[in-house]
Amino acid sequence: MKKYIFLFFGILFGFILSRAGATTYDFYAKLFLFEDLQLLWVIATAAAVGMIGVAVLKNLKARSILDGQPLSFEGKPYTKSLIVGSLIFGLGWGFASACPGTALVMLGEGKLGALFTIIGIGLGTYLFGMRESRGHGA
């Protein structure tokens, strides 16, 4: 089953995030104080590699290797709340010096502060679900 392969994909991505420095708290402080742009380089290089790769896959009209389905190149849509949401996320990113992926990887490295962050991310997700469920009359 395809979904179980993602356990290994998660291990691989977690390992790479750690080696990229994304689980090292100091890099977050240094990034946002403009002292060391390690993580900016990581994101910029990753995005550049991704842009080239996506352009190639698009050109080849590639299908997914595991199930042969056509690849979708559609991005996430713009919403009215996108900017506010991204600012809230960014504040949390700076305060907790982690993002959703790296908090989980940090925990695996024995950085126990990530436990609080992970519980917080779950709570924040739940709060959004509460708002949405109420908004749609559930």
Partner 1 sequence: MTEVIVWSGWVGGLAVGAYALFQFAMSGKHLGVSTGFGNFCSYISKLSFFHKGDYEQPNNWRLWFIIGLPLGGLLAALTSPGEIALSFSLGAMYDQVLPQALWAKGAILLIGGVMIGYGARVAGGCTSGHAIAGLSLLNWPSLLAAAGFFAGGIVAVQLLFGF
Tokens representing 130? Answer: 């509460």
Q: Answer yes or no whether residue 77 interacts with partner 1 by CB under 8 A.
A: yes
- Supply the minimum distance, in Å, between the C-beta of residue 34 and partner 1: 8
- Supply the minimum distance, in Å, between the C-beta of residue 73 and partner 1: 6
- Supply the minimum distance, in Å, between the C-beta of residue 74 and partner 1: 8
Is the CB of residue 71 less than 8 Å from the CB of residue 7? no
Q: Closest Cα to residue 22, out of 50, 48, 42?
A: 42
Sign of CA dihedral 85, 91, 94, 99: negative
Q: Answer yes or no whether residue 79 interacts with partner 1 by CB under 8 A.
A: yes
Residue 63 φ then ψ, to 5°: -110, 155
Is the CB of residue 105 less than 8 Å from the CB of residue 17? yes
x-or-dash string of contact with partner 1, 91-130, rule CB under 8 A: xxxxxxxxxxx-xxxxxxxxxxxx-xxxxxxxxxxxxxxx
Q: Answer yes or no whether residue 61 interacts with partner 1 by CB under 8 A.
A: no
Touching partner 1, residues 18-37 (CB under 8 A):
18-26, 28-33, 37
Total interface residues for partner 1 by CB under 8 A: 117
